[in-house]
Structure 1
């Protein structure tokens, strides 16, 4: 049966007190033929921004719809309307399952059968090649966005979201955390806000000079946001909350930084030069293949792939600094507002520590990972 792809909005707020009842109402809207008595729930626990619940019939677990309940106060730094536009565009491009509906504090969308990646799977040659190809595809689509480089003329190149996002996180960082014990750690291990602003300014001055292309980016390609289907020999990206136009090298660097994991953050798992060169070559081959018509139409000679790999490698490893800064700031905001049980402050300390480590290497070598 062909499933209806909804664009409707349900005037419904899901909370702990009405979670099952609210889920039932959402499911009745998108799967009215499902008998309520046979509906089962699966709670996914890997997210550290939102709560995710899978809903399915007892005899057909692969025909699942996902209900994501937004985390507390995430609307402060996530454009939810933009997220819905992104999901519809990605679905029309054949890159993700359908979006069904939204409600006041969440969305309902299609399920991608498969398994989410772990620290070993992401290094598998087949899976890593699929990821690089999928990222190249995503980087060549042009979704509708709410912001343009020039507010009055959207024909200009879109503005990258990186530094706008960093400053938004900075603005949301409080002077003190409400939890007394957390606040002691916060004041002991987190640099002062004015010092963090200096670091953001340093990043902007340094990274803009690299002239990385601006593309539509996922911006949060951690391991749990990639689903691998062995049956289809394919990967699917999920959770487009932070998707926006951004620097190509940032999106790739951010993915590489996520090799370290989240619950147990291990920066030594960052991919080495050999892995990166193989990954980046595969990415650029896919990227150039997708852009071939444009290159031919404009009589542009494609640069040497070896030179391009080398250039992108150096860009990516400098943008890794921005990834650590981004999620370090994000985690401070989450430490103050999120109700999800996770040591956000400890995660922030780890990410900022990596930022300063890479910055020191950058300043010493005038580049990193030669």
Structure 2
């Protein structure tokens, strides 16, 4: 497989783009996400053509977009233009504000969506053609290599920032955020409570979180001796954050709220952990993972077998991170029809039985 156009050029993402003026509207989407409030943010925060459109907007349509676990998303269309309105979930503003700025910066080199504008509880962003994947497709021999190349393109981008008035550019200091994020979520999970004697209180107790906090510390110590490269990573690359367009046979990465400097091997391991959708009996074999890893190595170089060996020890970190995230979301989130405590239980259950099957 040849290198992609992104890999063939020396792509550089200007971190100063995070600070460029962005359209910010002093309005919000209603708690019920009514069509009227979605229409208003589209007219004021959407594409330039919409902001000057004085027509009746009789053709305006709204379609819920499935797959978001933190935010609510709606596909809105008018006059042959389609956008996504992202309404932030509870207590996620800090992550989402950064997500929007990262998306804007990466969009300038073809790695993210266009961001049109922000409103009080969300933003309006461009539409990317495609559908989200199913977990099993993460090891599909035709699709997985596309995702692998996209991750490698992200990891090999040169990120820089402006330094002082001289305008000289330097490589940003690469400080991984993984362990600090895990620590903060472990600490926050200690304050999660439900009504005494309630079903959720019993389920929370059954998770035995003190056990997993101690295990997390042991894993961190064990991985301290590894030398994974530090890259700008997605950190949350599951099936719902990948769009596949069958017409062009292309893949796009979306939703950058957790993107940061992190360990390359964790980003790859996190992808591995998502393939089996929290069912440890379905953890993919080395042969199944090879499709994604071959795609990655076609851009970043190296042997896929070596990459597999280096990434596997980081899989438990993925389950720990998202297990504690699930506990916190069970307490905070207003996203309907998703059982966050069950999600956390499955993540921690995978830790008990997470074994790698080799063919």
Note whether the superposition's TM-score is higher than 0.5: yes
Q: Could you tell me how far apart the structure 2 residues matched to 1:185 and 1:120 are?
A: 28
Show the counterpart of 2:124: 108
**2:144 matched residue in structure 1:** 128
**Paired residues for 1:75-224 under 5 Å:** 75=93, 78-143=94-159, 157-179=173-195, 180-192=198-210, 195-224=211-240
Q: Name the CA distance, whole Å, in 2 between partners of 1:280 and 1:250.
A: 14
Q: How far has the Cα of 1:227 moved from its partner?
A: 0.6
Shift of the 204–120 alpha-carbon distance from structure 1 to 2, 3 Å rule, reads: closer
Q: Distance in 1 between matches of 2:108 and 2:90?
A: 30
Secondary structure at the counterpart of residue 255 of structure 1:
helix
Cα RMSD for the two superposed structures: 2.3
Aligned counterparts of 1:331 and 1:52: Cα–Cα separation in 2: 20
- Counterpart in 1 of 2:353? 357
1:344 and 2:340 matched: yes
**For residues 17 and 210 of structure 1, what CA distance do their matches in structure 2 show?**
48
Q: Secondary structure at the match of 2:225?
A: helix
1:272 aligns with 2:285: yes
Which of 306, 313, 326 is the matching residue for 2:308?
313
Pairwise CA distance, 1:104: 1.5
Q: Which residue of 1 aligns with 2:72?
A: 51
* Preserved contact between residue 6 and residue 99 of structure 1 (Cα < 8 Å): no
Structure 2: gaps spanning 5 or more residues: 1-19, 162-169
Indicate yes or no: 2:278 matched with 1:251: no
Does 1:286 pair with 2:307? no
Instruction: Look up the match of 2:9.
Output: none
Q: Is the 8 A contact 2:70 2:89 kept in 1?
A: yes
Name 2:252's counterpart in structure 1. Answer: 236
Shift of 1:96: 2.1
Any idea what SS the aligned residue of 1:46 has? Answer: coil
Distance, in Å, in 1 between the alignment partners of 2:234 and 2:313 is 18
1:13 aligns with 2:28: yes
Q: The residue matched to 2:58 in structure 1 has which SS?
A: helix
* 1:256–1:271 Cα contact (<8 Å) kept: yes
Q: What is the Cα deviation at residue 28 of structure 1?
A: 0.7
What number of residue pairs does the alignment pair up?
Answer: 322
Q: Deviations over 1:59-116 (max 9, x none)?
A: 74xx3100111111224xx533322221122101112221111112111100111111
Q: Give 3-state SS (helix, strand or coil) of 1:16's partner.
A: coil
What TM-score, normalized to structure 1?
0.80
Name the residue aligned to 2:85. Answer: 67
Superposed displacement of residue 131, structure 1 = 0.5
Q: Is the 8 A contact 1:115 1:229 kept in 2?
A: yes
Q: Give every structure 1 segment of 4 or more consecutive aligned residues whose post-TM-superposition deviation is greater than 6 Å.
A: none
Gaps of 5+ in 1: 146-153, 289-304, 362-367
Task: Find 2:276's aligned residue among 214, 239, 260.
Answer: 260
Residue 311 of structure 1 deviates from its aligned partner by 2.8
Q: 1:55 to 1:208 in 2, by over 3 A?
A: same
Using the TM superposition, give the Cα deviation of residue 55 of structure 1 relative to its aligned residue in structure 2, in angstroms.
0.2
* Secondary structure of 2:275 counterpart: helix
